[in-house]
Structures are given as C-alpha cells and as structure tokens.
Chains A and B, each alone.
Chain A
Amino acid sequence: MQELGLAEQGSLRVTPDGENRIVIEKDLSSEEMILNMGPQHPSTHGVLRLECRTDGEVVVEAEPYLGYLHRCFEKHAEMTDYPGIVPYVDRMDYLAAMNSDFAYAIAVEKLLDIEIPRRVEFMRVIVSELNRVASHLVAIGTYAIDLGAFTPFLFCFRDREHIMNLLEWVSGARMLYNYILVGGVSHDFPKGFSERTGEFVDYFRPKAVELQKLLTENEIFVKRTKGIGMMPADVAINYGWSGPMLRGSGVEWDLRRADGYSVYPELDFEIPVPDGRFSDIGDSLSRHLVRAMEMEQSLNIIEQCLDKMPSPEGFDPRAAIPKRIRPRAGEVYGRAENPRGELGFYIVSDGKSTKPLRCKARSSCFVNLSAMKELSQGQLIPDLVAIIGSIDIVLGEIDR
C-alpha cells in the first residue's frame, strides 16, 4: 500500500526487465529540480529543448519545447510556386531529402492528373530507398552514440558516405538534392550509375550484418534498450505514430504497402515488425531492430528496381513536367513513407494561382515526438536519452 502511494507521487520507478520487474524504491522525498536538456545538448539531435523535472536521476516529467529551427516553411510555401517549394521540402528532413521530395511530388501530382513515365517511377524509388538506407544509418549510428558506443557511429557514416557519393553523382548535391520534381526527376541516371548502385548493394549487405553483430547483439546495448520506452500498439496509433515507430510497436503498417503508391505494388518486400524474440514489443530496442531490418528490405527493393527498370533509350526524365504548374482547384492530402514515418502534405489550390493557397506539412517526427511527455515519465536520465534516440528525430522536420 505504501508502494502504491509512492507510485502515485511519482517517486517510485518500475522497470520491466523480462519476467522480473525491478522496482527502484525511493524513501527520501527530495526536492524536485528543473533540468534543462538542450537546446545545446549532445543527445537532443539538434535544437530540441526538454525541460525535465527531476528527482535525483529520475525524470518526473519532460516537457519538449520546439521551434528553435522554425523556418516558416508553410508561410514560404504560400508565397512560392509549386516547383519552387521543392528545395524548401529538402531542407525539412535533411537526412532524407529524396523521400521528402517524393512525398511532395506525390501530393501535387494527385492534383495535376499527369502520367508519370515508368522509368521515372523506378528512378524515384531507387533514390529514395538509397536515401532511406542512409537515413537509417544515421539513426542507428547516432543511437549508438547516445548509448555511448562510438565505433558503430563511424561504421555507419563510412557506409553512408558511399550513398552520399552515389546521390551526389546523380543529383549534384550531397544532402539537399532537389532531384525529384513534380512530374519527373531533374536528370536521368548517369552512365554506370545502375552498376555502381548494384555494387553498393553487394558491398553493404555484409556490412549490415557486421553492424548487427557489433550493436544489436551487444549485451550492454540490449540491456540499455530492452523494455525502455514501452509504447503499446493502440496508444501508438492514437498518438499518430507511423513508420518504424509504429512498426516497433508491432503494427504491420507501411504506406508503401497500404497506399501502394508509385511502383511499390510490383515489388516484393517484407514489412519488418519485431516478433518479441529479441525485444519486448514496443520498446526502444524494437524500434532499433525495425530500422536495422528495413535497411535489408530497402536493399532488396533497390535490386528489384534495377532489374525491372525500363531502358533509358529515348527517355526524357522531364517529359511529364508541366511547363507551368497550375493545378485544378481542390485540396489533397498526399503522403509517402519517409524513413521516420508518414510524411504528408495537405495542399489547397484555388485553381487560378501557381502558388498553393495552403501547404501544410504533416511531419512524422513532430507527431512521433508528441508522445515524449508520456514516455519520459518516471524514467532515468540515461533512459530518457535512449528514448529520444529511438524516436530518431530530425529537428528540421519537426520545426519546419
């Protein structure tokens, strides 16, 4: 009964640890301290600020404060014509700019009713899957750093470098590509790109296994992440979680399958969800595992696309790009599977202007992070870091 009272005051912490539940009891009722974590802090992945009320090392509650990177994307979008928005979209989720461009292109194309050349669709899928692998590599690497393991981070960045080089070759930029345009892509693949991409896939498969061995099978890593930041599936859906976060809670839901946009219905890939053998479903480790397994699937997708892609003869990647984009009056909610979840664009067109009346970006990290307050309650500070890391936030997308 006394324990119950303590639990209500928030001075009792229960950690699920497999079958046994560890209970950390605190007899001393100590004064709560406000601890500002960020905006300049190594593990807030940018300029997130968490105002933590702490009782010793236990975080009673952490309130996220956003907006340090707010660049008025939506206001800019209302003053820019449709193709001009693409670079702004790049700068939202700067780790997965291809995927963001893809989502935006899908949204606008829904209003335009244009036929996209088949080769363009394959090209889009290849570059965005490459970018997904790169983004997951950053997520996994920085997560390792959050937990104090340096070396996996550099292994991840070493492999990501190859993807950066590939995408630089194809688009001319290393991070903010401006490559996928409304109605097409800016350039065809350079000569030899497909072969090099195939080589990369062959190179990366064993490296992904090595990364698994170094990190996911590491006992300390498992100890730090298993059972931390539990999120049941129904609550996750209610919070609007999507992408690896939602799949980490055991919901097999992927927009590439559910919406079946672009050429994804023709491709054979699995949607990885944790099976509860290595992790408790819904914990930080599950989310990490989903990302690790998704890289594997992305490689499969790239390989299939390289096989199925139509030949480049007589192909103009800009053929379907309208000279002037002026969509019909109407509104649309277009979305795509970003590495971090569902990136959606709600676009309203008045039918007269070449600029959208409204362009709202539904950012996946923004929604995923909104559960932070609930996840943080009663956690230790090191666990808080582990939870933030598992959410894999990109502040550029949260603040827009």
Chain B
Amino acid sequence: MSTSLNAWSDALSGFSPAGLPLGLLIIAAIPLVFIALYALTYGVYGERKISAFMQDRLGPMEVGKWGILQTLADILKLLQKEDIVNKEADKFLFVIGPGVLFVGAFLAFAVLPFGPAFIGADLNVGLFYAIGIVALEVVGILAAGWGSNNKWALYGAIRSVAQIVSYEIPAAIAILCGAMMAGTLGMQQIILQQQGEYGFLHYFLFQNPIAWLPFLIYFISSLAETNRAPFDIPEAESELVAGYFTEYTGMKFAVIFLAEYGSMFMVSAIISIVFLGGWASPLPNIGALALNDWTSGPLWGAFWIVMKGFFFIFIQMWLRWTLPRLRVDQLMHLCWKVLTPFAFVAFVLTAVWEIYVK
C-alpha cells in the first residue's frame, strides 16, 4: 500500500506539461480549493439548511435554486459593510485578532491528508502539529476580545481561553490513545494502518475495544474546542451578545466566522483520521465484489475523508440545534472531573491493550 501511495503522489508531482509543475500545484491546491468551497458555501449553507430542517422551516430559498447562492450573497454583503474599528479599541490587537484566529484554524489543514495523494506536508509529527497549532486560536481570541475594549467581548475571550485550554487536555490525551494504537504521529501512516480489504473493520474504532472511549472524549472535547453548542459559552448570544466578536463588522466578522467553520472541519477530519480511517474506504471486499479496491484511489480518498468530515459536522450541527447551553462552571466540571479522568483511564487501558493483549 505504501508503495502505491507514493506511486500516486510521485506520478502526480511528476506531471508537468510544458515544463510547468502543474502536478505539484494540484496537490497543494485541491485542499485549499476544497476549504474555500466547503467553508464558504457548504458549511454555512449546510448549517442553515440543516437547522431549518430541524425547525420545520425552509431556510434560505430566495437566492438561486433552494437558496444555494445565499452564502455568496452574504459574502458580498459582508464585503460591502463598513469596517468599524472602535475609537477606544486597541487597534493593533483588534486588527490582528481575526487574522491570527483564521491562520490558526487553517494552518492545521496543511497536515490533513485529503486522500493518498493530496497532503500539504506529510510531517512525521503531523498529529502533534495539528493539536499544537490549533492552540494559536486562543491567542487570536484573546487579542480580539481584549482589543475590542468591550466588557462583553472580554468576558467571551476569557471564557473562551479558559475553555479551550482546559479541553485541550482531554482532547490531547484521547488523541494520544489513537497515536498509541498506530505507533506513529504521521497522519498518512495512521491512515495506512487502518486501510485494508475489510474496509471499516480495519478502523481503530473497531479494532480496539477501548477505542470508543477516547473517540467519545475527543468528540466532546472537540465541540468545546471549536466553541460549538452545547459548549458555545464564549459566544453565548443570549448572555454575552456575541462574545469575543461583539465589536466586529464586515469582513473581519466573516473571517472569524470562516475560522469557526474551518476548525469545525479540522476537528472532524482529525477524529475521522485517528479513529475512522481518514480517506480509507469503509467498504469491504466481499469475495468477487472487490468494493474496497474499487473505491480506493486519490479521488475516492478525498471523497471519503470529506464525507466523514461532513458526517461529524452534521452531528455537531444536530447537537447545536437541539441542546441548550451549559453554564461556565458546569463546563469546567465536565472537563476536569469527568473527561480528564476518563481520558487517563482510556490512556492506560489502551496502553495495556496494545502491550499485553494485542
């Protein structure tokens, strides 16, 4: 498998008609194009349609067929809006806040493999990098909240930092369980270990009887890390107006918004890579029906990881539109007294399983 992976990659990177490195360009560009497409159109549009479906509404219907171009219209609107910077704001922090947030959310995409051939940088510490770089978001949120010189924004920022920093601990330990199962931190390597002719049965979630525990812990923590309901207290609109981005308008607001959707996909991709085989096809080979072989390949890989990501995003949205919001202290209670101890338990059990049982 490893050879075929490199073969695909090599073949693509060697593709240079008329001396132009077009193949390399495609490898780098496909994830980026995807991000733009996903985050701009399907993320926001999907959320609006899904919430509408759950609430007996139609959602956007006017712009284009079924309102498909609604997000585009929103972006145009946001571009035209006045870019207001408070008189009393700390202008430097106020301006760089959304930038740092955006960069932090999207830097992690560099190591996300979108199929066997498409990966920005196949680092041998890819997983570690992804967890680490997301912490940059905290700086952006704090800069935005403090720079706004608004009490609500400050509350939101402080809550957000407390929440993200706390939840990184169970999240990281849960991810470590996955890394232990794989024995590596490289994203492609982790996926390759979960690929095989039996499809989904090779996934860590089904390989290891303990894996569901870190899987759940990581999923819950990822909700908190991306500030999604029921852990959306940093931007709790009924309490803090809009949290750390209360004062933002126009494109800066849009950038913060995009960063949120970007990190939503990022955590969904990580959870599917570590526990659900990333771009590996879930279909098994059944005798002559070589479903797994037929549905593997560079484009199929991109399809599978995007589908898995969308699946988790759908669950995130489902939860958001169903559940009320927790309170700050309940959130911290959940993190420190429930998730973190269980993450340690999962960690020990995984280690025991990997060393003695498997």
Q: Do any CB atoms of chain A lie under 8 A from CB atoms of chain B in the complex? A: yes
Binding site for B on A (CB under 8 A): 22, 24, 33, 35, 41-43, 57, 144-151, 154-155, 158, 214-215, 218, 220-221, 223-224, 380-383, 385
Residues of chain B contacted by A221 (CB below 8 angstroms)? 324
- Nearest-CB residue, chain A, relative to B326: A220
- Nearest-CB residue, chain B, relative to A389: B238
Bound form: Cα–Cα A122–B10 in Å: 83
Binding site for A on B (CB under 8 A): 51, 54-57, 151, 155, 229-230, 232-233, 236-241, 320-330
Q: Which of A33, A150, A214, A382 contacts B327 (CB 8 A)?
A: A382
Bound form: Cα–Cα A221–B322 in Å: 11
Least Cβ distance of B330 to chain A in Å? 6
Least Cβ distance of A104 to chain B in Å? 33
Given known A151-B321, A220-B325, contact A35–B151 (CB-CB < 8 A): yes
Least Cβ distance of A226 to chain B in Å? 12
Residues of chain A contacted by B327 (CB below 8 angstroms)? 223-224, 380, 382-383
Bound form: Cα–Cα A158–B327 in Å: 28
Bound form: Cα–Cα A24–B324 in Å: 23
Find out whether the CB atom of A147 lies under 8 angstroms from the CB atom of B151.
no
What is the number of contacts between chain A and chain B, taking CB atoms within 8 Å?
79
Residues of chain A contacted by B320 (CB below 8 angstroms)? 150
Bound form: Cα–Cα A35–B240 in Å: 11
Q: Which of B155, B238, B241, B329 contacts A147 (CB 8 A)?
A: B238
Instruction: Tell me what chain A mostly uses at the interface: helix, strand, loop, or mixed.
Output: helix
Residues of chain A contacted by B57 (CB below 8 angstroms)? 154
Residues of chain B contacted by A218 (CB below 8 angstroms)? 323-324
Residues of chain B contacted by A33 (CB below 8 angstroms)? 151
Given known A148-B229, A385-B238, contact A57–B55 (CB-CB < 8 A): no
Q: Which of B54, B325, B328 contacts A151 (CB 8 A)?
A: B54
Bound form: Cα–Cα A154–B324 in Å: 14
Interface centre among A43, A151, A380 (most CB of B within 10 A): A151
Bound form: Cα–Cα A233–B320 in Å: 36
Q: Which of B236, B324, B326 contacts A144 (CB 8 A)?
A: B324
Could you list 16 examples of A-B contacts with CB < 8 Å? A22-B329, A33-B151, A146-B238, A148-B323, A149-B323, A150-B51, A150-B320, A151-B55, A158-B55, A220-B325, A223-B326, A224-B324, A224-B326, A380-B328, A382-B236, A382-B328
Find out whether the CB atom of B241 lies under 8 angstroms from the CB atom of A154.
no
Residues of chain A contacted by B324 (CB below 8 angstroms)? 144, 147-149, 215, 218, 220-221, 224
